[in-house]
Chains A and B, each alone.
Chain A
């Protein structure tokens, strides 16, 4: 479920304010505009303009058919007291634990296990670990719907080992559907974190490890003193990327539970879709979309800011 954003989200680090501004490359040549304009035109017309247009729509009450009515910020004040929207953000917070926190911890543990010795053949494992990144969200949803199916592998395995009482249609269960979707997210992102961290470790100078060993550091100390600080950049990138994935997650939710049962897996993007295209509350849906975009932007900025501070310390 690699989204277009995910490939580039690591690039976010570029957006951090630079302390030492490097000189711009090349000569002053205004002919540069000639090369920029065509691409910029597509970007402005079909990405930036719709974004601004969404914010504009959010100031209106509109059913999508009849005339719009300007209502100022009232869509936002109703959003503020909308319990469905609030719970959709709570669900997102739960998903962040599954999409971002667990995979990052898993990735770090694995990396810690691997740095003690050089691993031969990591390329082979990498091929498998990266696989979930390329699969369409719709396909992932079908695969996991089967895994969670009443007759699917998970319930079958539970019954085989005598835990049949735990078997259930996971995606239809009020308390298990959200963790079940979260588990899909963990599956999608842990391999990416592992590959990211393992290739990051290879760039840590081996002299640092030698020094730690000379000082008699054990595996734990070595990890805390050398590996973790050395991977700070990779961890940040992974957190931003997976958090954004968790907040979006439309494809998987729409194709597994569509927000159900009873709204227990409703996420903001799903809620936006429902309001815009099923309930005909276009202005309100635009406000939800705006809130989602701002949330993603703020969260990304916070993660990067915290990372920037720890860099200075």
Chain B
């Protein structure tokens, strides 16, 4: 049994090592951020006292108040709108047959793997003067919200369809026999059970939208008041890093913080959502 115990100990040792490695880079900027420039930090920089002055300086100098507001407006809008739309598309693909459904569904799935790098160039030019209606959307929240709703609907459709398919047919049929309309079935029978699935989807979409960088760089760089938190961090780092790495570290921790807090409370949803593709089927 000693060999078995040794093996088990080894397993835990390896797991602990890899877990620490996964956390370390985040800890390292947190440690750095708890210092001031004048501390002349090197190495592991374990903080000896709690000094939040770098956070304060980063927040004001990097204008993260505006950045957080922009990120929140964009992420919240994308999350809510794409959730509503995906519940609709998922409901239809999951419980109904209609003309062309087998052609349209794979086309939507394509949106999950296609790189959105391949969409930013036309978005940049079209948003300067939207074809047909001649609106100027560049450097507005809409420039970030609209494309990200489009991308999120692709993932959301897949996700909600899988959920609606897994609900028992008898439930839907019983409601129909009772005379419920298609909307009645969705609203009164299916949605009350769908809450966990919708929450998982929303948590993921919110996280991706909060973290998004390339679209923000291309589509709202020109307006300081519309810059998202990650874009603000990128500009702040470019301007300040050489002079004061502690401030940049503090800014980076600030940008990551909201998602980390949500993760602590809802990690089951993150893990379930991100592994779903492999686990389903």
Measured CB to CB, the residues of A under 8 A from B are: 1-15, 24-36, 38-40, 42-51, 53-54, 57, 64, 106, 110, 113-114, 116-117, 119, 122, 125-147, 149, 151-153, 156-157, 160, 187, 190-192, 194-196, 199-200, 233-234, 237-238, 240, 244, 247-248, 250-251, 254-255, 269, 272-273, 276-277, 282, 285-286, 289-290, 292-293, 296-297, 300
Contact with A along B87-116 (1 / 0, CB 8 A): 011011111111101101011111111111
Q: Is the CB of B252 within 8 A of A8?
A: no
Q: Is the CB of B278 within 8 A of A233?
A: yes
**Nearest-CB distance from A95 to chain B (Å)?**
14
A2's partner among B114, B208, B213 (CB-CB below 8 A) is: B208
B residues within 8 A CB of A136? 210-211, 213, 230, 233, 255-256, 259
A7's partner among B15, B93, B204 (CB-CB below 8 A) is: B204
Per the bound structure, the CA–CA distance linking A219 and B147 in Å amounts to 49
Per the bound structure, the CA–CA distance linking A285 and B26 in Å amounts to 34
B260's partner among A34, A110, A134, A194 (CB-CB below 8 A) is: A134
**Nearest-CB distance from B216 to chain A (Å)?**
10
Range of interface residues on B (Cβ < 8 Å): 35 or more
Contact with A along B249-281 (1 / 0, CB 8 A): 101110110011001000100110111111111
A residues within 8 A CB of B110? 15, 48
Q: Is the CB of B182 within 8 A of A110?
A: no
Q: Is the CB of B111 within 8 A of A191?
A: no
Residue of B nearest to A135 (CB): B256
Q: Is the CB of B263 within 8 A of A151?
A: no
A residues within 8 A CB of B107? 48
B residues within 8 A CB of A48? 107, 110-111, 150
Q: Is the CB of A119 within 8 A of B11?
A: yes
Q: Sorted from nearest, which 6 A-B pairs have the closest CB atoms?
A: A10-B277, A156-B43, A46-B150, A8-B112, A39-B85, A136-B211
Say whether B248 faces chain A, with CB atoms less than 8 Å apart: yes
Q: Is the CB of B43 within 8 A of A139?
A: no
* Max count, chain B CB within 10 A of own CB: residue among A7, A30, A33: A7
11 A-B Cβ contacts within 8 A? Answer: A26-B94, A28-B97, A31-B98, A117-B7, A134-B211, A152-B28, A187-B21, A187-B25, A244-B115, A276-B120, A286-B121
Measured CB to CB, the residues of B under 8 A from A are: 4, 7-8, 10-12, 14-16, 18-23, 25-26, 28-29, 32, 41-45, 82, 85-86, 88-89, 91-99, 101-102, 104, 106-126, 146-159, 165, 169, 172, 182, 186, 204-205, 207-208, 210-214, 217-218, 230-231, 233-234, 237, 241, 245, 248-249, 251-253, 255-256, 259-260, 263, 267, 270-271, 273-281
Q: Is the CB of B122 within 8 A of A50?
A: yes
Per the bound structure, the CA–CA distance linking A133 and B26 in Å amounts to 12
Q: Is the CB of A57 within 8 A of B281?
A: no
Q: Is the CB of B153 within 8 A of A39?
A: yes
**Nearest-CB distance from B254 to chain A (Å)?**
9
Residue of B nearest to A14 (CB): B109
A residues within 8 A CB of B205? 4
Q: Is the CB of A143 within 8 A of B28?
A: yes
Number of A-B residue pairs with CB-CB distance less than 8 Å in the complex they form = 379
Q: Is the CB of B99 within 8 A of A138?
A: no
Q: Is the CB of A45 within 8 A of B43?
A: no
With A39-B153, A141-B237, A143-B26 already in contact, 12 other A-B pairs whose C-beta atoms are closer than 8 Å: A33-B98, A35-B91, A43-B153, A50-B118, A50-B123, A110-B14, A132-B25, A142-B251, A248-B115, A254-B214, A269-B115, A276-B124
Residue of A nearest to B152 (CB): A4
Per the bound structure, the CA–CA distance linking A265 and B41 in Å amounts to 28
Residue of B nearest to A241 (CB): B277
Q: Is the CB of A15 within 8 A of B278?
A: no
Per the bound structure, the CA–CA distance linking A57 and B126 in Å amounts to 12
**Nearest-CB distance from A34 to chain B (Å)?**
8
Per the bound structure, the CA–CA distance linking A151 and B132 in Å amounts to 55
Q: Is the CB of B109 within 8 A of A15?
A: yes
**Nearest-CB distance from A30 to chain B (Å)?**
5
Q: Is the CB of A117 within 8 A of B274?
A: no
Q: Is the CB of B154 within 8 A of A47?
A: yes
**Nearest-CB distance from B69 to chain A (Å)?**
17
Per the bound structure, the CA–CA distance linking A263 and B104 in Å amounts to 41
Q: Is the CB of A53 within 8 A of B122?
A: yes
B213's partner among A12, A33, A46, A137 (CB-CB below 8 A) is: A137
Per the bound structure, the CA–CA distance linking A33 and B208 in Å amounts to 28
B residues within 8 A CB of A35? 88-89, 91-92, 96, 182, 186
Residue of A nearest to B216 (CB): A138
Q: Is the CB of A32 within 8 A of B121?
A: no
**Nearest-CB distance from A129 to chain B (Å)?**
5
Per the bound structure, the CA–CA distance linking A132 and B27 in Å amounts to 12
Per the bound structure, the CA–CA distance linking A92 and B126 in Å amounts to 30
B267's partner among A110, A130, A194, A300 (CB-CB below 8 A) is: A130
